[in-house]
Amino acid sequence: MKKILFLFITTILLVGCSNNTERSSDKEGKPLVITTTGQIADAVKEIAGDLVEVKSLMGPGVDPHLYKATQGDLQTLEEGDIIFYNGLHLEGKMSDVFEKMEKEKTVRGIGEAIPKDRILSNEENPDLADPHIWFGIEIWQIALEEITKTLIEELPDQKDTFVKNEQAYFQKLADLSDWTASRISEIPEKQRILITAHDAFHYFGNSVGLDVRGLQGISTDSEYGLKDIQNVVDFLVENNIKAVFVESSVSDKAMKAVIEGAKEKGHTIQIGGELYSDAMGAEGTEEGTYIGMYKHNVNTIVDSLK
């Protein structure tokens, strides 16, 4: 009798244990989704609503090209059930971490879902992909579909909610696109030239009709030299451009050198304002959301160039 009772209790304990370890975040009842950038975290919140908990590793002002995972990040990634990252080598210093995590859980580089023929390459290094896909609203949606697909695989019972949320969000993005086109049309055609510190805005420029020039290459990892500054200065003076832009996640040193160089040639240029390129604004502010950050950029650009 004692033996049977013992077996009975052991079975209950074992069943209890296996249920608890099935999902690491079961104690809160929701799967934990970890993202690298704020842009991806914002999209997951839009598509999943409150069905998952979302944590992003990189906050405002953080440069993803140079970002290295901290001990705390590794802990967070261990705790997560699903990991979404941008891919296309944006998080260049984290590929080993993703490879390791892939053996343990669902890890998706959402940019890898975009057809290769729609990915821009670096003008100087054609072998390198341009990872700044979030600024091309149309191709960003292809990456976001990968998020929806993955969420459905993980939580099939919630499929209808994910699909409905995605459709509602894509409608908002279509409205954003229309609004942007009408704002850009306020800039005289000849002045539709955007000059920034690093090459983050080519997808944006392509989709809204702006000629984009960056001082640094595709990654902030690449060095710019005096020659690059001189080229940009010549271009600015030739085209009579009024403003250049700094970025929240890149030092403004280079842009200051450009303004100084133009001044020596008798051409006055303003800093048109700060754009959000690779990182979004502070959480809780409008610029802390994808749509808010995008609108901030468009308003800043149009108001300075028109």
- Site residues (vs Zn ion, CB under 5 A): 200, 278
Smallest distance, Zn ion to C-beta of residue 224, A? 14
Smallest distance, Zn ion to C-beta of residue 255, A? 15
- For Zn ion, which is the closer residue by CB, 46 or 278? 278
* Burial class, 115, CB count within 10 angstroms (exposed 0-12 / middle 13-18 / buried 19+): exposed
- For Zn ion, which is the closer residue by CB, 46 or 91? 91
Smallest distance, Zn ion to C-beta of residue 234, A? 24
- For Zn ion, which is the closer residue by CB, 249 or 289? 249
**Both tokens assigned to 232:** 């940009």
Q: What sign does the CA torsion over 44, 140, 130, 298 have? A: negative
DSSP tally for the chain: helices H, then strands E: 10, 8
- For Zn ion, which is the closer residue by CB, 129 or 269? 129
* Burial class, 191, CB count within 10 angstroms (exposed 0-12 / middle 13-18 / buried 19+): middle
Smallest distance, Zn ion to C-beta of residue 161, A? 33
* Alpha carbon separation from 15 to 12, 76, 254, 258 (Å, rounded): 5, 27, 61, 67
- For Zn ion, which is the closer residue by CB, 166 or 278? 278
Dist CA 207 CA 177 (whole Å): 9
**Both tokens assigned to 257:** 């050198």
Alpha carbons within 13 angstroms on the beta-carbon side of residue 217 total 17
- For Zn ion, which is the closer residue by CB, 49 or 59? 59
Smallest distance, Zn ion to C-beta of residue 133, A? 11
Smallest distance, Zn ion to C-beta of residue 249, A? 8
Smallest distance, Zn ion to C-beta of residue 285, A? 21
- For Zn ion, which is the closer residue by CB, 81 or 278? 278
Dist CA 145 CA 168 (whole Å): 13
In the three-class reduction of DSSP (H, G, I as helix; E, B as strand; rest coil), residue 233 is classed as helix
Local structure of residue 266 (DSSP, 8 states): T
Smallest distance, Zn ion to C-beta of residue 84, A? 18
Total residue length of the chain: 306
Dist CA 40 CA 56 (whole Å): 8
32: part of which helix (H) or strand (E)? strand 32-35
Dist CA 1 CA 7 (whole Å): 10
Q: What sign does the CA torsion over 168, 172, 173, 174 have? A: positive
- For Zn ion, which is the closer residue by CB, 97 or 200? 200
